[in-house]
Amino acid sequence: MRVALVGLGTVGTGVIRLLDANRELIARRAGRIIEVRAVNARDRNRDRGFDITRFDWVDDMMELARRDDIDVVVELIGGSDGPALALARAVLSAGKPLVTANKAMLAHHGLSLATLAEQSGIPLKYEAAVAGGIPVIKGLREGAAANEISRVYGILNGTCNYILTTMEREGRDFDEVLKEAQELGYAEADPSFDVDGVDAAHKLSILASLAFGTQIDFDAVDIGGIRNVTAADIREAAALGYRIRLVGMAENRADGLFQRVQAALVPMHHPLASVEGSLNAVLAEGNFVGSLFFSGRGAGEGPTASAVVADLIDIARDEYGDPFAMQVEQLARQPKADSGDTIRRVYLRFLVQDKPGVLAEIAAAMRDAGVSIESVIQRGAHEDGSVLLVVVTHDSTERAIDDTLRRLGGSDNLIADPVIMPILG
């Protein structure tokens, strides 16, 4: 099977190394040899650690969609639009299978690309787009295909998980750990997509479609990140028996689809609490299979290349189905659920003036909004005179929590905006 590889960054070079290292094993499992025939990348002269002259270098990536000596195209350049999307459309329209690791493109254009694949009767494969080397796409699309999935959630961004677990172990604040993560290569120079939750939201929207048989709706994902998580939050969470993780969660409710990425408190005994460093994990709850747990390395050269090559092996064996487990026309169009009806216990962190009556003001606002307090932690004053006040609620609707914060909105006693994190049940 003759492959064209577009993009020779970390993952692209990993794909070539993996195909070289496991050539005979892959051929036996695929039923035929899989070889890279042509490549395209931005820099032809960059040293990638192998002889690039053994491949046909193509300056115009669009040519690969038309070449008769190419059976499959692998897209690894990234980006939701632009060259990646143009290439994907050209490849599928030409009747060639496409393998991609591009979660942003799938989150925004997955349905139209899946329609092109269906019309041509060819595979569109994307295991590497979500959770790197963890076979969660195949697990949901095939292994759990007989189940009605009610909820899918997990840790979907390794950069955020590395930062949070480092803060946890070393007691340092976000900015300091982020800078170190950038120096070590765990975080990009512009980390916004990761730390602001956008990357995890791309992946969550894809998982939700597969899990629930619904159309991808990235625009309906409520997105939050980890910039406002402090070392103090992590200490207080630990004192309460929790760890803080960036959690993407999707639920198929009676009133629509709930999708959210947000920093949350995870009980110490919960499987997600033990997921540390750059690892990813996904849980899905099926009505017959029960709870499924997928965990492993969610990014990097080896895991992501492993997922790409696994897709190539499936194509070589003619083992593939509809990209989103059913025909696009059968995917339900779900409205966005009313998040105000969501019932959660919540962690609220306030930074307040050190003077009498502040706690009473907060308690009164919560009382008037119908929010019941489970516990309160108040620490001594900092050098600047501010006081950290943490409130954990009983089960409350998000609407009531929002009402509480509106009532406190004009208070001179609040030094900074409150931080809200749900407590995972």
- Active-site residue set: 203
- For residues 315 and 125, the answer to whether their CB atoms sit within 8 Å is yes
Q: Measuring CA to CA, how many Å separate 97 from each of 2, 86, 87, 101?
A: 11, 15, 12, 14
CA dist., res. 251 & res. 219, Å (int): 16
CA dist., res. 323 & res. 138, Å (int): 10
Cβ neighbours of residue 129 closer than 8 Å, sequence gap 6 or more: 100, 101, 102, 103, 106, 137, 203, 206
- For residues 30 and 313, the answer to whether their CB atoms sit within 8 Å is yes
The closest alpha carbon to 159, from 139, 134, 179, 173, belongs to 179
Cβ neighbours of residue 271 closer than 8 Å, sequence gap 6 or more: 281, 283, 293, 295
CA dist., res. 303 & res. 318, Å (int): 23
Beta-bridge partner residues of 299: none
**Environment class of residue 117 by beta-carbon count within 10 Å: exposed (0-12), middle (13-18) or buried (19+)?**
buried
Q: What are phi and psi of 248, to 5 degrees?
A: -95, 130
The C-alpha R_g of the chain, in whole angstroms, comes to: 24
Dihedral Cα 260, 157, 276, 163, nearest 10 deg: -100
CA dist., res. 116 & res. 133, Å (int): 26
CA dist., res. 88 & res. 108, Å (int): 13
